[in-house]
Amino acid sequence: MRYVSLVLFTLFSLSAFASFEDIGWTMRSKGMGNAIFGDFDGVNTMHYNPATISMTRSIQLYTGWNTPYVGFDDNSMINIIDVNLVAPFWNRFTIPPDSFFTKRGAIGLSFHRLSLIGPDGLSENTVEYYHEGVYSLIYAKDLNDVLSRGAKISLGTKLSLYDIGVGGFEDTTANPELGGAMQRLGFGVDVGATYDFSETIRLGLVYKNLISPNVSILPDGQDVLPSELRIGANMEMGNIFFMKKAKLGIGYVSYGREWNKETNDNRQSDSSWHVGYEFWQLTAADLFPTSLYKGEMLAVRVGMVFEPRKVGDELDLFLLKLTGVLNFTFGLGFTYVFNYSHQVTVDSALQWGVNMGKIEPSVGLQYQFLLPNSAFAYREEEIKARQLEEEVQKRQEELRIEELKKQKQQTNTQTNAQTNTTSTLQSSTNTTTTPPASSNPTKKKK
């Protein structure tokens, strides 16, 4: 039948397709080659290391979409949708009576779904052939100076529900062995940690699938996802030439397939290497002096992901010959803050698969509600002191903007006055140099 090959593909070759692979959960992470193991960036890093949301100081919402494969000849397509939410605990959002577990901590929720859709074989209706979903709850806690004086450590954990299924379309409903739509739910646990090696370098360590989920689509099947060990670092490099707030990331992931003979496959990668770089440009304070936002607005990102394989394509990379899968990534981001508290970021990423020559575009939108510093004070006198300081800073900023507007208005007035004076002088000059026309007619000679 028309979709038999597709059904066989999804049922018996899932590991070669997607099978909950590490595919880049946000556009920023994807643009940096997913090299964000120790970067504190809330919704952008929550999946790679749950500990990285511990220092979040804003309520963050991220939505993203991308399609890894397009142009199937049967009019089907793959969509990937991500929704991430991170919220820190603050003095009005805590768990009494002891604030230890919530103070300097945060929680996160995420929805990730890959869906293969296309026309039904019996009608023109669109149906879902196959889907993968991951729905997660994350908790992270900053333990700076708690375990040991001077130790800058954060810990986090992620509880995930894995959802995999094949829809009830023509080929599954007609097959007595399949019996229509099938679905499986599995449960997994990840743990992560960060450690500040220095003021500019932060290390990240993650053990994914400490509890491994069974994602076999067959009723009595066993297909347990292998564990992963992730280790990496992010380094803040400051300003380099025209590149502001430059940041470098590097990391290594061991997929754990070599630990388990049942999941080991020469056609698949046992590990991957990640390298990413990011810098910022276009400072809002320089371009818009009266803007409340003073930071940089444009982010530029590049990255690389290499998955070595024992069997596969050979790639010539300069003087190196590599066997495996190589992807280069590129990304752009635009950020702006409105009215002190509302930050909006639009991110895009482009992944180029060297082996397949495939280009994968994707876009994402992020909103942050920036909480004031007073929200993270827990003693009443400290809260009032911070609120007073914030009011003073806000008033100073308003006065600065008013002064700039007055200066601009005065400059415009002076410019207009100079323009009017110049126009008047030019008119006077033209009047003086042009002889007046005679009012008496010329007399004819007799």
Residue 323: pLDDT band by 50, 70, 90 thresholds?
confident
Give me the pLDDT at residue 1, please.
42
Distances (CA, A) of 368 to 61, 344, 346: 6, 6, 12
- Beta partners for 201? 235
| Helix, coil or strand: residue 357 | coil
Give me the pLDDT at residue 366, please.
96
Q: Is 299 exposed, middle or buried (0-12, 13-18, 19+ CB in 10 A)?
A: buried
Give me the pLDDT at residue 320, please.
72
Tell which residue, 32, 118, 112, has the closest CA to residue 66.
112
Residue 128: pLDDT band by 50, 70, 90 thresholds?
confident
Q: What is the mean pLDDT of the chain?
A: 83
Tell which residue, 340, 347, 338, has the closest CA to residue 366.
347
Give me the pLDDT at residue 179, please.
56
Contact between 112 and 25 under an 8 Å Cβ cutoff? The reply is: yes
Residue 310: pLDDT band by 50, 70, 90 thresholds?
confident
- Can you tell me the distance from the alpha carbon of 402 to that of 279, in angstroms, rounded to the nearest whole number? 32
Give me the pLDDT at residue 2, please.
46
- Can you tell me the distance from the alpha carbon of 332 to that of 249, in angstroms, rounded to the nearest whole number? 17
- Beta partners for 138? 108, 158
Query: The tokens of 388 are what?
Result: 């007073």
User: pLDDT tens digits for 431-441?
Assistant: 555 555 554 55
Give me the pLDDT at residue 14, please.
42
pTM: 0.82
- Can you tell me the distance from the alpha carbon of 339 to that of 227, in angstroms, rounded to the nearest whole number? 45
Tell me the average pLDDT across 149-170.
Answer: 87
Give me the pLDDT at residue 204, please.
97
User: pLDDT tens digits for 330-386?
Assistant: 999 999 998 889 999 999 999 998 877 778 888 999 999 999 999 998 889 999 999
- Beta partners for 64? 82, 364
Tell which residue, 338, 236, 252, has the closest CA to residue 293.
338
Query: The tokens of 335 are what?
Result: 């950020």
Q: Give percent of the chain with pLDDT exceeding 70.
A: 79
Quick check: 324 pLDDT over 90? no
- Can you tell me the distance from the alpha carbon of 130 to that of 144, in angstroms, rounded to the nearest whole number? 44
Q: Which CATH number fits domain 4-371: 2.60.40, 2.30.30, 2.40.128, 2.40.160?
A: 2.40.160
- Can you tell me the distance from the alpha carbon of 308 to that of 298, in angstroms, rounded to the nearest whole number? 33
Distances (CA, A) of 171 to 127, 181, 184, 353, 359: 12, 10, 19, 32, 31
Q: Give percent of the chain with pLDDT exceeding 90.
A: 43
Quick check: 63 pLDDT over 90? yes
Give me the pLDDT at residue 180, please.
55
User: pLDDT tens digits for 73-102?
Assistant: 566 778 888 999 999 999 888 877 677 888
